[in-house]
Amino acid sequence: MKKIIIVMLSIFIISGVNALDDVSYLQSIDIITENDIFFEDLNSSKEVTIDNTIFSFNTTFIQNYSKGVSLAITHNNDSKIKFDEDALFYNFILKDYYGNDIGSFDGNVNISLPWNYSKGFIYYINNNGIIENVPVDLQDGFISFNTNHFSTFVVTNRKYDQILLNKITEKESKEEKIILRQNKIAGILGEIIIISGTLFLFVYVKKRFGSK
């Protein structure tokens, strides 16, 4: 009987720990490709291809980061914003020679992404979760655009007008608040389960064995 009670209490406490684990909504960054780029090693066009994506750096950018940069590409949707199923997410993570993050920068980088559709659109998700349309050029199986900042870009063959983009942002913001509330409640319940189970086990053990 004693063993059964201890096993049941252990399961009770473990379920509380699992409830706390479910609270974590942070996703690890899945690094697809990471490259150190030294401009002196590039050809005259100052282009480099990473993960089938072509980056072309202009003179101003190269002068500002003459020692080189580190560039990583991920494809996970950290923003939680939902586009159509065929949408592709590109997260460009740029660091200088010393390992410092570069968000925006002087100069421009032209990025060409492989794209086999007759039409295409690119949207930029800024740090505040606002979605912005990006001018693009479609040519020779690539969709290209210029940028002076690196973050999350979405490539899709569906055009979203600004009203719809605003609705998507507002909807995702509301859903995120609901998820945060649910996670907070789950975390509190998990802590209550762990504390209650621990106290119950302590009292039981003390009464069962302390009197002897």
Q: How far apart are CA 12 and CA 9, in angstroms?
A: 5
DSSP 103: S
Per-residue pLDDT at 132:
85
Q: What are the CA-CA distances from residue 156 to residues 54, 84, 116, 161 (Å)?
A: 18, 8, 11, 13
Beta bridge partners of 121: 156
Q: How far apart are CA 62 and CA 68, in angstroms?
A: 8
From the list 39, 58, 48, the residue with the least C-alpha distance to 92 is: 48
CA 8 to chain centre: 39
* pLDDT, one tens digit for every residue, the chain (212 residues): 555 545 455 554 455 444 434 333 233 345 456 688 888 877 777 888 888 899 999 999 999 998 999 998 888 776 666 677 788 899 898 999 999 999 889 889 999 999 988 899 999 887 776 788 899 999 989 999 999 998 889 999 888 765 455 555 555 554 554 555 666 677 777 777 778 777 777 676 667 666 55
Q: Which of helix, strand or coil describes residue 126?
A: coil
Q: How far apart are CA 175 and CA 166, in angstroms?
A: 14
Radius of gyration of the chain (CA): 25
Q: How far apart are CA 210 and CA 184, in angstroms?
A: 38
Q: What are the CA-CA distances from residue 210 to residues 96, 111, 206 (Å)?
A: 64, 72, 5
pTM > 0.85:
no
Give, to the nearest 10 degrees, the angle between helix 162-210 and helix 2-23: 160
